[in-house]
Structure 1
């Protein structure tokens, strides 16, 4: 279910999802009140809801939806990359927090993960959380182990899994595991996101 008080936003999201085989838009609502009414009819697995709407508001809508349907996948959609709001929303039981400037594939990933009860944060807000998680002068990369730091350095140098595995004398599969672990710890989805985070944190290929 798409919940947004702007018709054009609902239409744009519906158009995006319309071309995807494993996701179907079953209903729309222009307010939180209307969304909760429609949820009573069943047939909805995931609700994608704008946080800032007149009336009840999206955050309250998602919290009430969670109370009535704990099995429901919940996604907060917002124009703001607000770290405090993102944390509050995710702590309330919402599965995903997606900014409206996210890439279409991120939104689709969020829907799939929420449907499976998993968490997802769009790359923009994930990077901000990683950079501000703790003291302002902390290095977000300090959460990585020594070996993960080695793999990170080589990723930032543009090396692929085979090149890294040869350098460290381990299998490419092991490097894939390290890469996935690095992404998870830093809250990023791709190596491009990882590079952006490194640049924001003042990391370079020479200092990684």
Structure 2
């Protein structure tokens, strides 16, 4: 499926450039653009995009507020934040509002397109340079559960509960893919579950994860 994308940014030149990139990529379908939060909410109603690429700074409301409003009406829409703000407060606020991804402006075209596809699939994706913010968010929110797990295994389980892939977990925790797979296998054994789906159910029942 080719994801339908709406671009929201108040800077005309940046918005034009991003729209040009997306409209020129055959794997995505640009269905609209907006320059304010109110326009974004209205455009989502009209265009029904799969993914909204959202800036944080908008003239009438923040992109975080716009994300919260539009997801309240259209919870299946994926929001990918694309912004200049690289601070913990902005990252955490975006995730709490329901955003599935967070990239910094300056990310390459290929990275942005890959992120759009990941968000459209329901995955969580985060750009390089903000992994510590993401990890801090999950660590802060996670209750002290599953004492049989090591601290690292709990970190991995928190990300699994949020629907994050092993590849993203490896990047967020600065681990090799093999190490992540080993942690996942250990988690399954200790929780006595057979697969990832069962682990997610156990984790979310315990209060872990932030499903959108």
Q: Same fold (TM over 0.5)?
A: yes
TM-score of the superposed pair, with normalisation by structure 1: 0.63
For residue 126 of structure 1, report the CA deviation from its aligned partner: 1.7
- 1:28-177 paired onto structure 2 within 5 Å: 28-126=33-131, 129=134, 143=152
Residue in 1 that maps onto 2:169: 184
Aligned length: 151
Runs of 4+ in structure 1 off by over 4 angstroms are 127-134, 180-183, 188-191
C-alpha deviations, 1:155-181, integer Å up to 9, x for none? xxxxxxxxxxxxxxxxxxxxxxxxx84
TM-score of the superposed pair, with normalisation by structure 2: 0.62
Name the CA shift for 1:103/1:56 in 2 (closer, same or farther; >3 Å): same
Greater RCO, 1 or 2 (C-alpha within 8 Å, sep 6+):
2
5+ long unaligned stretches in structure 2? 1-5, 140-150, 154-164, 177-212
For residue 190 of structure 1, report the CA deviation from its aligned partner: 10
C-alpha deviations, 1:146-204, integer Å up to 9, x for none? xxxxxxxxxxxxxxxxxxxxxxxxxxxxxxxxxx847624417998xxxxxxxxxxxxx
Of the three residues 9, 22, 31, the one matched with 1:4 is 9
SS at match of 1:106: helix
2:65/2:97 contact within 8 Å kept: no
Over aligned residues, Cα RMSD in angstroms? 2.9
Name the CA shift for 1:22/1:129 in 2 (closer, same or farther; >3 Å): same
Distance 1:79 1:91 in 2: 19
